[in-house]
Every structure is written in structure tokens, then in C-alpha cells.
């Protein structure tokens, strides 16, 4: 397993980690297989979405913040229930096919770390098989 650190700067944001994941694949020497990208945090997630237009990231964050507001009658004493809910909806990991030593993503697809309780220092784990 490989890992890398992501430093976030906003309460809620999506950070493109595609190049970091590709570097992990390249460093592993894997020709063909599967990579699993995983977030070991309960208030963060991993997703694949469009990476060409930055408005997509903004729209995702805006809608998540609208649907799951910070001001609500949450019971979790730590005060970050919205972050836990967003992380549950997005998910903690994704699988990506590796072919000819490259991530097999669609034309516009990128892998994103999703921060829902930042800013923080986060870890991402990458398992290559």
C-alpha cells in the first residue's frame, strides 16, 4: 500500500488527486490491474467526476452544502455532522482500472479528494493490485 498527504484549505472542497494516484501506479510498476483509492477519514471522501471545468467542483460543493446545511438540529456533539453525512453520501473510496501503466479514466474524469470538515491535513491510501 502507498499513501500520500493532502492539505486542504477550505471547509468543503474537492481537490484533484489524479496525478498523485497515477504517480503511485507508476512507482508500483503495475502494467495492468486495479487501483483502490481510499480515504481513512470519516469527514472526507473520494470520488470521480469531471475535472475539465472547475465549475463542476463548485457546483458539487454548492449543492452538497445546500442539501446538507451546517445549521440544522444535529445531535452529534462535535458539531461536524454535516461533514459525516456528506462523506457517507460520497463514499470513502473508488476503484480505477489500470491499463498499460495508466489510469483508465474517461476523457473528462479526474479522481478527487473531498474535504467536508476542513481545513485539515489528510491522508489518502492507495492499494494497487
Question: Percentage of the chain surpassing pLDDT 90?
Answer: 99
pTM to 2 decimal places: 0.96
pLDDT per residue as tens digits for the range 70-100: 999 999 989 999 999 999 999 999 999 999 9
DSSP codes joined into one string, 46-112: EEEEE-S-HHHHHHHHHHHHHHS-SSS----TTS-HHHHHHHHHH-SEEEEEEETTEE---TTEEEE
Distance CA 81, CA 116 (A): 10
pLDDT for the residue 110:
98
Cis peptide preceding 119, ω within 30 of 0: yes
pLDDT for the residue 5:
98
- Residue 7: name the closest of 91, 111, 126, 119 by CA: 119
Domains of the chain (ranges; CATH) run 2-128 (2.60.120.460)
pLDDT for the residue 1:
94
Close Cβ partners of 94 (under 8 Å, ≥ 6 residues apart) = 36, 37, 46, 47, 48, 111
Residue listed under C-alpha cell 479526474: 110
Gyration radius of the chain's alpha carbons = 15
pLDDT per residue as tens digits for the range 42-60: 999 999 999 999 999 999 9
CA 129 to mean position of chain CA atoms:
20
Amino acid at each position: 500500500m502507498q499513501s500520500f498527504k493532502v492539505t486542504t484549505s477550505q471547509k468543503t472542497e474537492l481537490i484533484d488527486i489524479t496525478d498523485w494516484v497515477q504517480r503511485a501506479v507508476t512507482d508500483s510498476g503495475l502494467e495492468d490491474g486495479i487501483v483502490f483509492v481510499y480515504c481513512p477519514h470519516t469527514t472526507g471522501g473520494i470520488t470521480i467526476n469531471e475535472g475539465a471545468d472547475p465549475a463542476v467542483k463548485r457546483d458539487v460543493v454548492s449543492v452538497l452544502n445546500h442539501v446538507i446545511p451546517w445549521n440544522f438540529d444535529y445531535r452529534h456533539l462535535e458539531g461536524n455532522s454535516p461533514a459525516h453525512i456528506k462523506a457517507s453520501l460520497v463514499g470513502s473510496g473508488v476503484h480505477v482500472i489500470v491499463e498499460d501503466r495508466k489510469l483508465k479514466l474517461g476523457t473528462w474524469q479526474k479522481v478527487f479528494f473531498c474535504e467536508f470538515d476542513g481545513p485539515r491535513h489528510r491522508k489518502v491510501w492507495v492499494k494497487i493490485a
